[in-house]
Amino acid sequence: MLYVNPHAARAPYPGELQDIMSIARAQESRAWLAHWDGLTPGSTPLRALPDLAASLGVRSVLVKDEALRSTLGSFKALGAPIALVRLLLREHAALGLTAQSLLRGEHRDALVGVTVISATDGNHGRALAAAAQSIGCRCVIVLHAQVSEEREQAIAAYGAEIVRVEGNYDASVAAAASLATRHGWSVVSDTSYEGYEIIPRDVMQGYGTLAAEVDEALSMADAGSDDACPLTHVFLQGGVGGLAAGIVSYLWERWGVWRPTFVVVEPVQADCLYQSAIAGKVASASGSVDSVMAGLACGEASPLAWRFLQPSVDAFMTVTDAEAVEAMRRLARGSDNDVPFVAGESGVAGLAGLMQAGAAPSLAAAIGLSANARVLLINTEGATAPQGYAALVGEPAASVMQRQQAWLAR
């Protein structure tokens, strides 16, 4: 399903939003992250898939591959460390901390009494646990009933203490907030709620690193000019809206009225942003929330993220779990001209939306998806649950990676 957002505007990036998130802060986050050994040095690849583009009837499809960002296997490795660093810089300024010294673990002794906590569907908690381990903080992660044992073990491997609760993601968010209040811990969450916006802002600002790298790659390729955006469409994963807000804010500030068309894609049963667009305000999902796209299985939109998405996202889409699995398999297969990708369930939501729109002329027309379209997708995760990935795709991630390496070596 697709809903065209009547509130989306073609206007310069508003000053009140720039005060919250900006290109300058995204670039600062990017510079800080260069000092963390939890990330692979340099930018992640931005790859063209010409055969996929031809099959969808568009001019080009570019995919930013966050599966290669780090051993964490997802874009979440950009947000949690930045939020944790900014939190410690604010609350422990007397210690003479810097972002670089924190990420190098130089203040372990001074921070031994600090505990951070967060709810997660998997990737954010794993990234926070890894960052806390590097910096020297204690980390507690709250998991809801639908988070797999495989994802729990991946988080615990970074030294986090695990707390299990009944219910869905929203129940785990409430539980994390309650535990933090009771014990005097700091919540480092990627979703906002009433009275809690500073840390989610910092998480989203870390995600701006992605957009900065895309902008840099396109500029180096001389793909556009100062007043002509080299992209016509960007399809982004939904969830609570943090990733989308981080990317949209950067590209909107960068290109202003010439910004690309933004399309946000969610699971049909976890459609909180889609429902928010219809209601014209933050709303809850209409379905069960449980989805194979675990990282997007969120029932409540982030109010802070929605402040950026409502005036900028041109359309909201929902896709089925089956469509997501087919997108995973399409990227894994590759082709003569398309490099194979390891893309997890949530990582392919944007492609699933693009494939749905490409197969339906009415949907394509509604968002201006034509033969001249130049589309950006972000593969937000690799096989963060390897057993689940192999079951859905029909082969292990290691096999796909071997074919990727062979394709790149041709």
Q: Each residue's pLDDT tens digit in the chain (410 positions)?
A: 999 999 999 999 999 999 999 999 999 999 999 999 999 999 999 999 999 999 999 999 999 999 999 998 899 999 999 999 999 999 998 888 999 999 999 999 999 899 999 998 878 999 999 999 999 999 999 999 888 898 899 999 999 999 999 998 888 989 999 999 999 999 998 888 888 899 999 999 999 999 999 999 998 876 445 568 999 999 999 999 999 999 999 999 999 999 999 999 999 999 999 999 999 999 999 998 889 998 898 889 999 999 999 999 999 999 999 999 999 999 999 999 999 999 999 999 999 999 999 999 999 999 999 999 999 999 999 998 899 999 999 999 999 999 999 999 98
Token digits for 243? 């990733």
Report the SS3 class of residue 135: helix
Q: How far is 162 from 145, CA to CA, in rounded Å?
A: 12
Active site residues: 76, 121
Is pTM beyond 0.85 here?
yes
Beta-carbon contacts of 49 under 8 Å, excluding residues fewer than 6 positions away, are: 61, 62, 63, 337, 338, 339
Domains of the chain are 2-74+203-408 (3.40.50.1100), 76-187 (3.40.50.1100)
Torsion of CA 129, 23, 191, 195, to 10 degrees: 110
Number of neighbouring beta carbons within 10 Å of residue 28: 17
Q: How far is 203 from 191, CA to CA, in rounded Å?
A: 9
DSSP-derived pairing of the beta strands 46-48 and 60-65: antiparallel
